[in-house]
Amino acid sequence: MARTRVLRIIARMNVGGPAVQISGLMRGLDPDRYDHRLITGFCAPDEADYLETQASDVPATRVIGLGRAIDARDDLRAFTELRRIIREFDPHIIHTHTAKAGVVGRIAAISSKTDARLVHTFHGHLLHGYFSPTKTRAVIEVERRLARRSTALVSVGQQVRDDLLNAGIGRADQFRIIPPGLSLPPLPERSTARAMFEIPEDSFAIAFVGRITQIKRPDRFLEVVRSVSKSTGRAHFLVAGAGDLAPMIEQASTEERLPITYLGWRSDIENILSASDAMLLTSDNEGTPLSLIQAGMAGLPVVSTNVGSVGEVVENGSTGILCETDSHQLATALADLISDPVGAAVMGARGREFAEARFGVSRLVQDHSNLYEAILRT
């Protein structure tokens, strides 16, 4: 029986949710059933490449111009190369991920007049917090047109799908909700992990994991740190990530003597989780954040803004505390956790049970296999 040829396209495999998901699919889809190829660009200098740091076993073809930046000359170069690859590989399915690859990849497929089914995954969306109203309207119009030419649209969460439908992007019958799936490496001993980051044993450690860019609101994070530090002397914050606003956190940590350890990009999430007592997320917008799933799997309670599909990962009042996009609410919720270690531990235990049941890699792979089989029958 001939294998199904799947061409997977993503702009870049920077450390983050999409890269974790794609690596899981590349490793997990049955090679006897799928001839599966990954096309990606290069990460920016301030980003860590997941293929280099954590997934060196995953084969990929690099295409110049598919990176983060939008540049007409580079985009045209990437478009031309994608057309060549599509014609040479002749895939049954072309599956694009993230915004830029979704645009360039689908236009390349459409212009190649391929018979391949077109699938695009929204790991989040660009409808809130990224662009001016004028640019946002332009993004929406492009996505509407491309959705009409797509066979299926995948959303990582219900809220993300609903936001897209409300913006007129796609039809309800096109969408499939496929939550993230991942696994954690074994967690080291807590005392070992804490010693690695020089965290006092009596401190309550809070992890902040992700890109340090405007949409993640590191300024709000600093406001929470200042407030919580005034109310309790036990809090210590671990920041794992990098981005254009990282220097702001490092400078504030030094000048204000805030209890923050800045770690930069790390490939050892298991050490960070083992050393921590809770996880904090302060974003203005999210898809389905993998860092919060990882926190749940590690038994950590979460304090987060209630944005995107966060509410599908964290059960408010049970596995964590969800707040408005307000630093005072976040700080109060975090202070409450610190003052009630028994309650925090109970939340963490519920979070582990919840995350392990819903977000395993095998489920992610099976959901995609089911989707591919279904659209090939149409």
Q: What is the pTM of this model?
A: 0.77
Q: Which residues contact 316 (CB under 8 A, 6 or more apart)?
A: 306, 322
154: β partners: 121, 176
* Domains (range + CATH), the chain: 4-181+360-376 (3.40.50.2000), 190-358 (3.40.50.2000)
- In whole angstroms, give the CA distance from residue 246 to residue 373: 43
- In whole angstroms, give the CA distance from residue 165 to residue 158: 11
Instruction: Count Cα atoms within 13 angstroms, Cβ side, for 303.
Output: 26
Closest CA to 303 of 317, 284, 286, 288: 317
Q: List the alpha helices (DSSP H) in 29-157.
A: 50-53, 72-89, 99-111, 133-148
Closest CA to 94 of 5, 1, 176: 5
Residue 117 is predicted with a pLDDT of 98
Label residue 201 by pLDDT band (50, 70, 90).
confident
Report the run of H or E that residue 10 belongs to, with start and end.
Answer: strand 4-10
35: β partners: 5
pLDDT digits (tens, 9 = 90+) for 32-85: 999 999 999 999 888 889 999 889 999 999 999 998 777 888 899 999 999 999
- In whole angstroms, give the CA distance from residue 68 to residue 100: 8
CA-to-CA separations, 199 to 170, 231, 236, 259, 327, in angstroms, rounded: 48, 19, 8, 10, 24
Give the tokens for residue 59: 């084969």
pLDDT digits (tens, 9 = 90+) for 132-148: 888 888 889 999 999 99
> How much of the chain exceeds pLDDT 70, in percent?
98
Rg (CA), the chain: 21
Residue pair 17/123 in contact (Cβ under 8 Å)? The answer is: yes
Label residue 128 by pLDDT band (50, 70, 90).
low
- In whole angstroms, give the CA distance from residue 64 to residue 211: 23
Residue pair 207/176 in contact (Cβ under 8 Å)? The answer is: no
DSSP string, 311-363: GGTS-BTTTEEEE-S-HHHHHHHHHHHHH-HHHHHHHHHHHHHHHHHH--HHH
Residue 114 is predicted with a pLDDT of 95
- In whole angstroms, give the CA distance from residue 299 to residue 355: 9
Give the tokens for residue 57: 């076993």
Q: Which residues contact 327 (CB under 8 A, 6 or more apart)?
A: 220, 223, 224, 227, 282
Report the run of H or E that residue 172 belongs to, with start and end.
Answer: none
Residue 51 is predicted with a pLDDT of 95
Residue 216 is predicted with a pLDDT of 95
- In whole angstroms, give the CA distance from residue 72 to residue 206: 42
Q: Which residues contact 49 (CB under 8 A, 6 or more apart)?
A: 12, 13, 14, 15, 42, 43
